[in-house]
Amino acid sequence: MRQKIVAGNWKMHCTVAETEALLKGLLEGKSQNDRATVVVCPPFTSLEAACNLLKGSHIRVGGQDMSEHPKGAFTGEVSAEMLLTLGVSFVILGHSERRQYHAESDNLINRKAKAALSAGLTPIICIGETLTEREAGQTEQVVGTQIDGVLAGFGAVELGKLVLAYEPVWAIGTGRTATPAMAQAVHRFIRERVSGINQDAAAKLPILYGGSVKADNARGLFEQPDIDGGLVGGASLKADEFIGIINAA
Ligand code: PEP
């Protein structure tokens, strides 16, 4: 049985004070579930406060992005080591908003994933098709190409240390969720594709679903055999709602 993971992507929300208030809400509520690893991914400016507040708790901290480079003249960038030394253990890579607004390619995401793994961070690598691609019947082709690109050069060892997140772009922040059956079909396809690299590692690989996950639709999604939890945007900004999702896992 794969351990479930519920990760909250806060995007560009929460000052330090708002971060502390939200995390206190999570710590005071029933946000611990033995079957699920809980991760919060606040913006860079709140990571230190989050790591300090969550030290010794069941909640892990993730970054929302990082540089492919270890250091140097890269204005505005943050390295894997900078995240790690704060106490961060996960990092989201290749989110569709990074792909859309910052032109991130599968190749760049692959290089970032290599840098994250060699520093000891667990990458949560995002893939997913747009609405146009889905309606053109290209979902498997698009997702398959993304998998091949972001996992290029990886074998069983690397696959054992990372997480994939299937996030159909048309479901992110739109309130339009893939049905459990639709999501499961793509998750099964993803696991089969990864089996082409290593069957055993593919069977153990956590594959999260993301796209308008809420407390009231999480259970149906998480019950699917190839869905191992969720990457949650909007609903992770409300303690009660996020706790509902954690408890559904
Ligand atoms: C996300 O940004 O990763 C996401 C899934 O957002 P939302 O849950 O708001 O759709």
Nearest CA to ligand 1 atom 1: 233
Domain spans, the chain = 4-248
d(C-alpha 83, C-alpha 151), whole Å: 22
Q: Are 30 and 247 in contact (CB under 8 A)?
A: yes
What number does the ligand 1 atom closest to the CA of 230 have? Answer: 5
* φ and ψ of 245, to 5 deg: -70, -40
Which amino acid is it at 153?
G
Alpha helices in the chain (DSSP H): 16-28, 44-54, 80-86, 96-102, 106-119, 131-135, 139-150, 156-159, 180-195, 199-204, 218-222, 239-248
From 245, 249, 227, 214, select the one nearest 29 (Cα to Cα): 245
Q: Best mutation site among 40, 170, 213 for ligand 1, i.e. most ligand atoms within 8 A of its Cβ?
A: 213
On whether the 4-248 domain is CATH 2.40.30.10, my answer is no
Residue pLDDT, tens place only, 41-68: 999 999 999 999 999 999 999 999 999 9
Residue pLDDT, tens place only, 118-174: 999 999 999 999 999 999 999 999 999 999 999 999 999 999 999 999 999 999 988
Which residues surround ligand 1 with Cβ inside 6 Å?
9, 167, 172-173, 210-213, 231-235
Nearest CA to ligand 1 atom 6: 233
Q: What is the pTM assigned to this prediction?
A: 0.97
